[in-house]
């Protein structure tokens, strides 16, 4: 059980040695977003700018235009919400090579409540031309996708979870921007997911197998570009698709998958996420239960969907 | 530096601006005419740069944060040979390289895609920090409008420039006291602007933004801290019917207005 944000701090430290032009920017959340490890090792290349996300994103654009790879870190909601225009104008439009690594997404943030729970960040970033959007799940995927994002030259948004989740991938799994990974093969339902909900998806799949329903579980951490090929391949096999995410039902993975299916292989799809509401304070488990993202609720909902579409 | 040469250059650029402004139609004449003298001294008298090699490593960097006044910058870049003058007629036109607001991925010599006001100083802070990290002894110049300083992000950037001791950063304020809708809000009066920058730890020079000699002297000033040069300017400077006239924030000249403007530049009546 590890929190992806802890892994993020470590991988940054390693990448800092490999790439001399990585600059880490933070806006008074270095402890929370775990960039302090990097700061200790590379004090000259870590700038804690104070509480000013807009300034941070534009400074990132400027540094990138001088050949650096700035990594701008803050909570997902402040990155995408507060500094949207700066990301749009100073990063995405001029194709500046800035990596926005945003932690604390979704209801999984828990106690801090609605103001700190980004439920629309993927939606906001997905709409930006030139922007790559990634949402890894466990420690392996988080580490490998951050490495891939640094190798890739272009604006990238990476949503990194705060809550601890068990390791789901083995260390030999290959990751690529634009490619999903099948974690569990199945023939009756396809579940696509990202972040902490990938773990819930796998648990649901295990339970459904006991009811003789075979579920294919796909990690679709690369939300933009999305792996159309894999979505089509799996949906042609199962004819039944479910997306599960700790994000609004609008504009996230569910929408991205629906866009592919409706144009290429229109099969029934259930979009599971947070319905059109703001979150509230509570533990992550309490919130998941209240908003239907706990394993029991998911199992019930997917069964209903499966039966109403397959029989 | 030959001040007379720079003065002539400024007059020539004003003429180009009126010519191309008339040809291409609606454009931001007011703020462009107020900023063109400072821009011309920068490009012809101060900055290290190379039109043949726009990305020359050791160039000084210029950011036009008040991106709506792009035509003034385009006229200069074309005159210097960054691109052919024929492109000026494509300003704001489909498939052209000269966008309504500067676009660094389309136009040689543009350092920042600017237009959403308030981001230029932050971007300049990023560049100035980057130059320090690379040990490159070049300067970053950012031109902002006074109305633009109403955007809060500027003050975040002004604060951070002082914190990181960016003596390689110079902000030029085109203080023409008018914005799109109205005159500048009272809180940003000339005197207050100076004390605001000073209280944020900057060195400040206030000058006549149309006096070539004063502009040149200010840009030659050897600053130990980030430097703000507040240029007292007149919106629409040089054309009497445009001067201090809000309707010329963005407007199109009639044929009569164009002729009148050209006559005034020829006679040097207003200038």
Using an 8 Å CB-CB cutoff, list chain B residues near A45: 133
Per-window interface: A 5-64 vs B, CB < 8 A: 23, 44-45, 47, 49-50, 52, 54-55, 57-64
Q: Which of B116, B134, B159 sits opposite A89 (nearest CB)?
A: B116
Closest among A30, A38, A32 to A56, alpha carbons compared? A30
Fold of B3-267: Rossmann fold (3.40.50)
Q: Which of B123, B129, B160 sits opposite A90 (nearest CB)?
A: B123
The two tokens of residue A125 are: 């970033």
Which pTM value belongs to this model? 0.95
Domains A4-160 and A181-309 share a fold: yes
Q: What is the pLDDT of residue B189?
A: 64
| SS3 per-residue string spanning chain A | CECHHHHHHHHHHHHHHHCCCEEEEECCCHHHHCCHHHHHHCHHHEEECCCCHHHHHHHHHHHHHCCCEEEEEEEHHHHHHHCHHHHHHHHHCCCCCCEEEEECECHHHHHHCHHHCECCHHHHHHCCCCCEEECCCCHHHHHHHHHHHHHCCCCEEEEECCCCECCCCCCCCCCCCCCCEEEECCCCEEEEECCHHHHHHHHHHHHHHHCCCCEEEEECCEEECCCHHHHHHHHHHHCCEEEEEEEECCCCHHHHHHHHHHHHCCCCEEEEEECCCCCCCCCHHHHHHHCCCCHHHHHHHHHHHHHHHHC
| B197 pLDDT higher than 60 | yes
Q: Which of B128, B130, B153 sits opposite A68 (nearest CB)?
A: B130
Across the interface, do B130 and A86 touch by the CB < 8 Å criterion?
Answer: no
**How many Å apart are CA A121 and CA A74, to the nearest integer?**
12
Complex ipTM above 0.85?
yes
Across the interface, do A94 and B105 touch by the CB < 8 Å criterion?
Answer: yes
| B187 pLDDT higher than 60 | no
Using an 8 Å CB-CB cutoff, list chain B residues near A44: 133
Chain A interface includes B124 (CB < 8 A) = yes
Q: What is the pLDDT of residue A89?
A: 98
Q: Which of A45, A59, A85 sits opposite B126 (nearest CB)?
A: A59
Mean pLDDT of A183-198: 98
Shortest alpha-carbon distance between residue B106 and chain A (Å): 9
Rg for chain A (alpha carbons), in Å?
19
Q: Which of B124, B156, B164 sits opposite A54 (nearest CB)?
A: B156
Q: Give the number of A-B residue pairs with CB atoms closer than 8 Å.
A: 102
Shortest alpha-carbon distance between residue B190 and chain A (Å): 25
Closest among B145, B121, B150 to B226, alpha carbons compared? B121
pLDDT band at B188 (very low <50, low <70, confident <90, very high): low
Q: Which residue of A has its CA nearest to B125?
A: A59
pLDDT in tens, A275-309: 999 999 999 999 999 999 999 999 999 999 999 98
Q: What is the pLDDT of residue B186?
A: 59
Q: What is the pLDDT of residue A64?
A: 98
Cβ(A25)–Cβ(A59) below 8 Å: yes
SS3 content of chain B, % helix, strand, coil (to 5): 45, 10, 40
Q: Which of B113, B129, B160 sits opposite A89 (nearest CB)?
A: B113
pLDDT in tens, A208-262: 999 999 999 999 999 999 999 999 999 999 999 999 999 999 999 999 999 999 9
Domain at A4-160, CATH class: alpha beta
Across the interface, do B123 and A62 touch by the CB < 8 Å criterion?
Answer: yes
Q: Which residues, listed in sequence order, are joined to residue A133 by a DSSP beta bridge?
A: A157, A224
Q: For chain A, which residues make up each domain, given as ranges? A: 4-160, 181-309
**How many Å apart are CA B36 and CA B29, to the nearest integer?**
10
**How many Å apart are CA B21 and CA B253, to the nearest integer?**
8
Relative to beta strand B61-64, strand A222-224 is: unpaired
Q: Is A181-309 CATH 3.30.530.50?
A: no
Using an 8 Å CB-CB cutoff, list chain A residues near B126: 58-66, 70
Q: What is the pLDDT of residue B185?
A: 66
pLDDT in tens, B232-264: 999 999 999 999 988 888 899 999 999 999 999
Across the interface, do A63 and B111 touch by the CB < 8 Å criterion?
Answer: no
Q: What is the pLDDT of residue B268?
A: 65
Q: For chain B, which residues make up each domain, given as ranges? A: 3-267
Query: At a CB cut-off of 8 Å and minimum separation 6, what does B128 contact?
Result: A62, B140, B161, B164, B166, B168, B169
**How many Å apart are CA B230 and CA B238, to the nearest integer?**
19
């Amino acid at each position: 059980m590890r929190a992806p944000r802890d892994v993020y701090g470590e991988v940054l430290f390693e990448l800092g040695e490999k790439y001399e032009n990585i600059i880490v920017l933070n806006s008074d959340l270095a402890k929370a977003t775990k960039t302090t490890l990097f700061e200790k090792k590379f004090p000259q290349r870590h700038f804690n700018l104070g509480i000013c996300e807009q300034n941070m994103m534009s400074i990132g654009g400027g540094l990138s235009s001088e050949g650096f790879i700035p990594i701008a870190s803050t909570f997902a909601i402040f990155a995408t919400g507060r500094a949207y225009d700066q990301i749009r104008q100073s990063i995405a439009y001029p194709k500046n090579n800035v990596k926005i690594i945003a932690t604390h997404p979704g209801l999984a943030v828990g106690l801090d409540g609605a103001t700190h729970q980004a439920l629309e960040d993927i939606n906001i970033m997905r709409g930006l031309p030139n922007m790559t959007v990634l949402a890894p799940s466990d420690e392996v995927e988080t580490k490998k996708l951050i490495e891939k994002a640094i190798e890739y030259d272009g604006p990238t948004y990476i949503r990194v979870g705060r809550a601890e989740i068990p390791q789901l991938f083995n260390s030999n799994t290959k990751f690529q921007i634009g490619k999903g990974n099948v974690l569990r093969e199945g023939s009756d339902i396809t579940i696509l997911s990202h972040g902490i909900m990938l773990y819930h998806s796998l648990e649901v799949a295990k339970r459904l197998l006991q009811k003789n329903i075979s579920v294919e579980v796909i990690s679709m951490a690369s939300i933009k570009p999305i792996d159309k090929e894999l979505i089509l391949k799996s949906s042609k096999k199962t004819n039944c698709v479910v997306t599960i995410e700790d994000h609004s039902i609008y504009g996230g993975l569910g929408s991205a998958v629906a866009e592919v299916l409706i144009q290429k292989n229109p099969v029934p799809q259930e979009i599971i996420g947070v319905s059109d509401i703001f979150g509230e304070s509570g533990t992550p488990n309490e919130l998941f239960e209240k908003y239907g993202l706990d394993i029991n609720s998911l199992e019930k909902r997917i069964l209903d969907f499966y039966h109403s579409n397959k029989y | 530096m030959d001040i007379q040469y720079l003065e002539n250059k400024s007059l020539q650029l004003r003429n180009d601006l009126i010519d191309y402004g008339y040809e291409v139609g609606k454009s931001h004449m007011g703020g462009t005419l107020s900023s063109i003298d400072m821009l011309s001294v920068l490009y012809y008298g101060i900055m290290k740069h190379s039109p043949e090699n726009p990305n020359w490593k050791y160039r000084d960097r210029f950011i036009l944060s008040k991106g709506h006044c792009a035509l003034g910058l385009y006229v200069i870049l074309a005159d210097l040979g960054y691109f052919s003058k024929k492109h000026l007629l494509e300003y704001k036109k489909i498939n052209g390289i000269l966008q309504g607001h500067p676009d660094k991925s389309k136009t040689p010599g543009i350092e920042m895609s600017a237009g959403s006001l308030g981001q230029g100083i932050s971007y300049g802070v990023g560049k100035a920090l980057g130059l320090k990290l690379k040990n490159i002894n070049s300067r970053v110049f950012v031109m902002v409008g006074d109305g633009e300083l109403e955007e809060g992000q500027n003050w975040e950037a002004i604060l951070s420039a002082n914190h990181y001791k960016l003596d390689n950063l110079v902000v030029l304020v085109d203080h023409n006291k008018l914005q799109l809708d109205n005159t500048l809000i009272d809180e940003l009066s000339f005197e207050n602007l100076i004390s605001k920058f000073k209280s944020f730890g900057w060195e400040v020079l206030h000058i006549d933004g149309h006096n070539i000699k004063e502009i040149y002297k200010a840009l030659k000033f050897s600053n130990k801290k980030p430097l703000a040069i507040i240029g007292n300017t007149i919106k629409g400077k040089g054309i009497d019917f445009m001067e201090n006239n809000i309707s010329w924030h963005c407007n199109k000249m009639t044929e009569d207005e164009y002729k009148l403007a050209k006559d005034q530049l020829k006679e040097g009546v207003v200038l």
